[in-house]
Amino acid sequence: MKTTTASRAFPPAGLRLPGRWAVLPAAVLAGAVLGGGYGALKTPEYAATSYVIVVPGEKSDPAGALGFAQAYGRVATDIAVTGDAQVWAGVTAATLRKKVTAETSPDAPMISITARAAQPAKAVSMADGVARALILDSSHVASSTGVKVVQFSRATKPVDPVSPSASLSALVGGCAGGLLGGLGLLVRPKRAAARGESRHSRRAGAPVPAPAVSGAHRPETV
């Protein structure tokens, strides 16, 4: 009598490993904690902006003021470093290069000078110091350029920091953690699933040994 043994059905590898899906919420939680901690411990940073405008002289072409504004905007921080902005702002030249930026407008001969600092008052002094150095330098070469830089608006003391808050940092960290966790789930389980399926195929294809026949039931030879 031939006996057959029913092969067991193995669920897919992804269903047999429910614990790996815990990686995603754990990654989100870890990223949110790290991001929130960074936002809470990081020193807030404030930004102040001072505006200057380039005006043409009596015998200069008004259209040339726009071109000089673009040129002064590119070298504003260099002029500030070589001038007296360090003294007026009370910071080093390296700080001015790192924390001060200048932007120009394509439509108007205006330059915005933005400074960032941990203290609101320091950000104001840095922005106004660079603007003052730019105005002083332009007055020295006004006879050759035909234009000069004048103060349009002084920097105002900022109230709110521009650096991200702890809640925003936690949100960004959680999103980053979820992204990394999801990528890990997409890459890592493929190898484990392939190994599991190969083991199951070997088990299912293994021959079933025939049952042993006891000596009492052996057929007699005539």
Residues contacting residue 129 through CB under 8 Å, at least 6 positions apart: 80, 84, 85, 86, 87, 88, 89
State how far the Cα of 88 lies from the Cα of 71, in Å rounded to an integer: 23
pLDDT at 15: 46
Question: Mean pLDDT over all residues of the chain?
Answer: 74
Rounding to the nearest 10 degrees, give the CA dihedral for residues 101, 107, 110, 112: -30
Instruction: Give residue 45's pLDDT band: very low, low, confident or very high (50, 70, 90).
Output: confident
- Amino acid 89 reads A
Q: How, if at all, do strands 46-56 and 100-104 pair?
A: unpaired
Instruction: Give residue 53's pLDDT band: very low, low, confident or very high (50, 70, 90).
Output: very high
Cβ atoms within 10 A of the Cβ of 45, count?
16
pLDDT at 100: 93
- Amino acid 146 reads G
Per-residue pLDDT tens over the stretch 149-197: 999 999 999 988 875 655 655 566 667 666 666 666 666 655 555 555 5
9, pLDDT greater than 60? no
State how far the Cα of 1 lies from the Cα of 113, in Å rounded to an integer: 96
Residues contacting residue 56 through CB under 8 Å, at least 6 positions apart: 62, 64, 65, 146, 147
14, pLDDT greater than 50? no
CA 80 to chain centroid:
29
51, pLDDT greater than 50? yes
* φ, ψ at 71 (rounded to 5°): -65, -45
Per-residue pLDDT tens over the stretch 73-125: 998 888 877 778 888 888 888 899 999 999 998 888 999 999 999 899 999 99
Mean pLDDT lowest among 27-31, 53-57, 137-141: 27-31
pLDDT at 109: 92
- Amino acid 153 reads S
pLDDT at 83: 75
Percent of the chain residues topping a pLDDT of 90: 26
